[in-house]
Amino acid sequence: MSPSPPSTSATPASLWARLRLLVLGDGVQASRPVVWVIGFFAFLNVYSMQAVLPLLMRDFAATPLQAGATVGATVLAIALVSPFIGMLSDALGRKRILCSALFALCLPTGLIALAGDLHTIVLLRFLQGLVVPGIVVVMIAYLSEEFRSGGVARMTSTYVGGTVMGGFCGRFITGHLSDVMGWRSAYVALAVLNLLGAIWVLRALPASRHFVANRNFPVALQTLARHLRNRRFVAICGLGFCVLFSLVGSFTYVNLYLAEAPFHLSSAGLANVFAVYLLGVVVTPQAGRFIVRHGFLRTVLSMLALSACALLLTLLPVLLAVIAGLALSSCGVFICQSATISHIADTVTEGRSLATGIYYLSYYAGGAAGAWIAGLAFEGWGWSGSVLSIILFQGLAAAIALCFLRPRAGAVQAGS
């Protein structure tokens, strides 16, 4: 008896799988959409308050520094929790924690709409920050493990591109909805978007294939000690501190600058200014090639110089000059961010999630410091004071890179 011909029928699930394979390809390429989406939802909420700071100052009779605390509280919480999430992820796995964090983010986001005073908003924003490391720290560890045979720089750049778009959309959506129906309704919309994103990632993110659990806490402490003795790694953490100081300081207090004379921008107008973030969506996917071609040190130094010079443009009392300065400055910061993250992914061979957590402790501590120090400078000397404080920290970042992050002996500069 001749064998029966193979069935040509296909289920909807198998057809969808074939369509994804046809459109996206296999391996790294097929995973890029979900990696991008995770980056998007990780940062949809983190900086969303920046577009409505003038409204908070009006509704709660707050000072610039008090309003800026709604941004600083989130990044401070991210800094405090990041190392512990790294240890937890090394013990329990990547996808479980990542998806749980995406779902947990929905609650404090929705409750912001019900807040009766600024202190409650700061508390809820702090709670948002406690959840975010479960996404950002775990995701970098996931990329380091699942694409260790190649493609780490490309996938990291894809992830950072998603974070850039998420950061833009959080500000853009909040600003425009606040202009139409108030900032409280805007946060209800963000909570709904968070829920939809969490469901999508739960279904689409592939399970870890290369993860090996490490539930030995004493060993984790030994790994932590080795990381902290690694001067190059500690220098990368210091560089990350200065990078986020620049980003948070500039994009928090430029809103108050543009809400004043001679600009008088509304919350919708401020949201439109954040369209400069879209340049980051274009630039960051190319960052991997730029880093490989020019080397880590050259990339970081050139991008810090670009960012500092561009910030000086924002001092001109012309809206187009401010927008151009913010655009160029943010591009420099985004490429520096991609360079530092990919450098950790390429050089750390053990305790990756813990190393990423330590890095984010420093990185987001820099963001909290930016919200505070640039805020004090703004209250004392206006926007020019904030710009000066940011450029000083960018100079510190360049000094750290020159002193501690030169290519190792025998290393090829383009790949360092």
Provide the CATH number for the domain around residue 241: 1.20.1250.20
How many C-beta atoms surround the C-beta of residue 226 within 10 A? 14
DSSP 8-state code for residue 132 = T
Q: Give all strands (DSSP E) within 139-292, no chain letters.
A: none
pLDDT, mean of residues 94-111 = 93
- Distance CA(198)–CA(357), nearest Å, equals 22
Place of tokens 């990291």: 156
DSSP three-state, residue 364: helix
pLDDT, mean of residues 147-166 = 75
Asked whether residue 23 carries a pLDDT value surpassing 70, the answer given is no
Q: Name the band, by pLDDT with cuts 50, 70 and 90, for residue 243.
A: very high
Give how far Cα 408 sits from Cα of 232, 347, 412, Å: 10, 12, 9
Lowest average pLDDT, out of 158-162, 329-333, 348-352, 392-396, goes to 348-352
Is-contact 33 159, C-beta < 8 A?
no
How many C-beta atoms surround the C-beta of residue 57 within 10 A? 18
The rounded percent of the chain whose pLDDT value lies above 90 is 52
Flag whether 109 is in a domain: yes
27: left (phi over 0), alpha (psi -120 to 50) or beta: left
- In this prediction, residue 35 carries a pLDDT of 87
- In this prediction, residue 15 carries a pLDDT of 47
Flag whether 216 is in a domain: yes
Asked whether residue 17 carries a pLDDT value surpassing 60, the answer given is no
Flag whether 18 is in a domain: no
Q: Which residue type occupies 266? A: S
Asked whether residue 319 carries a pLDDT value surpassing 90, the answer given is yes
Which tens digits make up the pLDDT trace of 349-382? 777 767 877 888 999 999 999 999 999 999 999 9
Is-contact 106 376, C-beta < 8 A?
no
Asked whether residue 289 carries a pLDDT value surpassing 80, the answer given is no
At residue 146, φ and ψ (nearest 5 deg) are -75, -20
Flag whether 170 is in a domain: yes
Domain holding 376, by residue range, is: 30-415
Asked whether residue 310 carries a pLDDT value surpassing 80, the answer given is yes
First to last CA, the chain: 64
Which tens digits make up the pLDDT trace of 170-185? 999 999 999 999 999 9
By the 10 Å C-beta count (0-12 exposed, 13-18 middle, 19+ buried), 262 is classed as: exposed
Task: Tell me which residue of 208, 146, 137 sits closest to 358, measured CA to CA.
Answer: 137
Asked whether residue 321 carries a pLDDT value surpassing 90, the answer given is yes
- In this prediction, residue 342 carries a pLDDT of 77
Task: Tell me which residue of 68, 49, 69, 67 sits closest to 58, measured CA to CA.
Answer: 67
Is-contact 283 157, C-beta < 8 A?
no
pLDDT, mean of residues 194-216 = 79
pLDDT, mean of residues 211-238 = 78
Q: Name the band, by pLDDT with cuts 50, 70 and 90, for residue 5.
A: very low
How many C-beta atoms surround the C-beta of residue 213 within 10 A? 10
Quote the crossing angle between the two packed helices 383-404 and 296-313, to the nearest 10°: 170
Token output for 408: 């190792």
Q: Name the band, by pLDDT with cuts 50, 70 and 90, for residue 385.
A: very high
Number of structural domains the chain divides into: 1
pLDDT, mean of residues 388-410 = 88
- In this prediction, residue 309 carries a pLDDT of 96
HSE-CB of 175 using CA atoms within 13 angstroms = 25
Q: What average pLDDT does the chain have?
A: 84
The most distant pair of C-alpha atoms in the chain lies apart, rounded to whole Å, by 91
pLDDT, mean of residues 99-120 = 95
Lowest average pLDDT, out of 237-241, 283-287, 339-343, goes to 283-287
Flag whether 40 is in a domain: yes
Q: Name the band, by pLDDT with cuts 50, 70 and 90, for residue 75.
A: very high
- In this prediction, residue 73 carries a pLDDT of 95
Asked whether residue 7 carries a pLDDT value surpassing 60, the answer given is no
- Distance CA(307)–CA(26), nearest Å, equals 37
**Long-range interactions of 91-97: CB distance < 8 A, separation 24+:** 91/213, 91/214, 91/215, 92/213, 93/208, 93/211, 93/213, 94/138, 94/139, 94/141, 94/142, 94/145, 94/208, 94/211, 94/353, 95/142, 95/205, 95/207, 95/208, 97/134, 97/138
- In this prediction, residue 413 carries a pLDDT of 42
Asked whether residue 399 carries a pLDDT value surpassing 50, the answer given is yes
- In this prediction, residue 14 carries a pLDDT of 53
Flag whether 19 is in a domain: no
Asked whether residue 225 carries a pLDDT value surpassing 90, the answer given is no
- In this prediction, residue 145 carries a pLDDT of 75
The rounded percent of the chain whose pLDDT value lies above 70 is 84
Asked whether residue 22 carries a pLDDT value surpassing 70, the answer given is no
Asked whether residue 9 carries a pLDDT value surpassing 60, the answer given is no
- Distance CA(65)–CA(280), nearest Å, equals 27
Radius of gyration of the chain (CA): 22
- Distance CA(86)–CA(253), nearest Å, equals 31
Asked whether residue 412 carries a pLDDT value surpassing 90, the answer given is no
Is-contact 393 242, C-beta < 8 A?
yes
User: Count H helices, E strands: the chain?
Assistant: 19, 0
Flag whether 108 is in a domain: yes
| CA 50-51-52 angle, 5° bins | 95
pTM beyond 0.75, yes or no: yes
- In this prediction, residue 259 carries a pLDDT of 93
Q: Name the band, by pLDDT with cuts 50, 70 and 90, for residue 205.
A: confident
Asked whether residue 112 carries a pLDDT value surpassing 90, the answer given is yes
Flag whether 383 is in a domain: yes
